[in-house]
Amino acid sequence: MGSLMRCLKKGVVVWLTGLPGSGKTTVAEGAASRLRSEGYRVEVLDGDWVRKTINVGAGFTREERERHLLRVAWIAKLLARNGVIVLCSFVSPYREVRAKIRSIIEEEIPYYEIWVKASLKECMRRDPKGLYAKALRGEIKHMTGIDDPYEPPEKPALIVDTENETVEHNVRKLKEFIESAIHSRK
- Positions annotated as catalytic residues are 92
Question: Quick check: 8 and 83 in contact, CB under 8 A?
Answer: yes
Q: What's the Cα-to-Cα distance from 176 to each of 22, 167, 184, rounded to whole Å? A: 20, 14, 12
Q: Burial level of 81, CB count in 10 A (0-12/13-18/19+)?
A: middle
The C-alpha torsion from 28 through 34 and 40 to 41, rounded to 10°, is 40
DSSP state of 127: -
Confirm if 10 and 109 have CB atoms less than 8 A apart.
yes
Helix crossing, 95-105 with 62-81: angle to 10°?
A: 20
Question: Is 19 exposed, middle or buried (CB count within 10 Å of its CB: 0-12, 13-18, 19+)?
Answer: buried
